[in-house]
Amino acid sequence: MKKHVLLYKKLSPALLARLENEVEVTYIDDPASDSLARLREALPQAHGLLGASLKLDAALLDLAPQLEAVASVSVGVDNYDIADLSRRGVKLTNTPDVLTETTADTGFALVLATARRVVELATWVRAGQWTASVGPKHFGTDVHGKTLGIIGMGRIGEALAQRGHFGFNMPVIYHSHSAKPAVDQRFGARHCALDELLREADFICLTLPLTKETTGLIGAREFELMGEDSIFINISRGKVVDEQALIRALQTGQIRAAGLDVFEREPVQTDSPLLALDNVVATPHIGSATHETREAMARCAVDNLLAALRGERPQNLVNP
Ligand SMILES: NC(=O)C1=CN([C@@H]2O[C@H](COP(=O)(O)OP(=O)(O)OC[C@H]3O[C@@H](n4cnc5c(N)ncnc54)[C@H](O)[C@@H]3O)[C@@H](O)[C@H]2O)C=CC1
Ligand SMILES: O=C(O)C(=O)CO
């Protein structure tokens, strides 16, 4: 008899066919809203789960005694209690690598957009306010040659360093668990303490996972260490930052600007003070959101799940 998979992420016809070839599939449209009841109903039969953006808590897992594997369509695994899944003997997989370059592109889009005020000035042009050539009031700041500070030198951090070093001639400094000699050599980069990075970098980019250790890592003290010309970019997770402290730093001119793809609460509240600030570029968690990359992530998740349900070791096992 085929095993049963609950799918809470829409797949392309080709990937759905690949999944249905081996398992029975129940599709739940959006488990975050009305379909949560459907998800609860289907959990007792589930051997596998595939999706993203669902906080899979103990109450939900208790409803799924047959569960063998969860394939997350994301590299970040902060929605899961990994220790609890391991205790229950449930394999967790993620989708690293396939989204690295695309997410770094998003990071660099935010670097350029904030520094050159692309969104603010494009909105200004659309509003018919471009009536004479622009002066210093509308100037931005250079990206090339400025110091790029990367917090979390992992896969995405390295892809960002590559863009900064080779594309924009930027000195790269980074803070991570440890120094990476290969990174230092390739990008002429330097590992340093967090405070040193905050003081020295012109662009401070967060590419860390959200963990107990990184929750609230960047708060009022850290914004005080940044210079008034520094630009803060977050493509990791909103909760790594104290958002109230970030708002204050932007409102008081403690930092120049912020490019934010992630927020403490998502979707961000429409009345968030962040959205009222011209020096904020806010995007709706689109780090990996291209047609090609989302398909590659889904394929990776399908392959991981099928391998786990066959009793094989999936390629991207988070809790071996
Ligand atoms: N905005 C978006 O759409 C996306 C966001 N992400 C986020 O980016 C994160 C990073 O992804 P990858 O680069 O693939 O992960 P990775 O595991 O390759 O890199 C993370 C790096 O952070 C370092 N690190 C972790 N905790 C640290 C700490 N407390 N202090 C110093 N360094 C620490 C690790 O040593 C590692 O080098 C994901 O966990 C996810 O939250 C990933 C993809 C898309
Ligand atoms: O993969 C992740 O962790 C994301 O945030 C979305 O791609």
pLDDT, mean of residues 50-59? 92
The order of strands in the sheet holding 91-93 is: 23-27, 3-7, 48-51, 69-72, 91-93
Closest CA to 139 of 124, 117, 168, 156: 117
Query: Which residue of 208, 215, 286, 318 sits with most ligand 1 atoms within 8 Å of its CB, as the best mutation to test the pocket?
Result: 208
pLDDT of 35 higher than 80: no
255 to each of 31, 123, 222, 246, 274, how far by Cα in Å?
38, 22, 11, 9, 13
Query: Which residue of 53, 73, 74, 75 sits with most ligand 1 atoms within 8 Å of its CB, as the best mutation to test the pocket?
Result: 75
pLDDT of 214 higher than 90: yes
Closest CA to 163 of 233, 205, 105: 105
* 266 counts as catalytic: yes
Q: Hey, whose CA ends up nearest to atom 25 of ligand 1? A: 208
The two tokens of residue 37 are 């009841």
- Identity of the residue numbered 128: G
310 to each of 8, 71, 289, how far by Cα in Å?
21, 14, 30
**Its pTM surpasses 0.95:** yes
Marked catalytic residue, from 4, 175, 191, 237: 237
Give the span between the Cα atoms of 299 and 303, in whole angstroms.
6
User: What is the CA angle 98-194-158, rounded to 5?
Assistant: 20
CB of 96 within 6 A of ligand 2: the answer is no
Residues in the chain, overall count: 320
Q: Are 204 and 234 in contact (CB under 8 A)?
A: no
The two tokens of residue 302 are 């399908």
111 to each of 13, 97, 174, 294, how far by Cα in Å?
36, 22, 16, 23
The tens digit of pLDDT for each residue in 130-184 reads 999 999 999 999 999 999 999 999 999 999 999 999 999 999 999 999 999 999 9
Domains of the chain, first to last = 3-96+291-309 (3.40.50.720), 100-282 (3.40.50.720)
Number of Cβ within 10 Å of residue 223's Cβ equals 22
Q: Hey, whose CA ends up nearest to atom 7 of ligand 1? A: 236
The tens digit of pLDDT for each residue in 224-246 reads 999 999 999 999 999 999 999 99
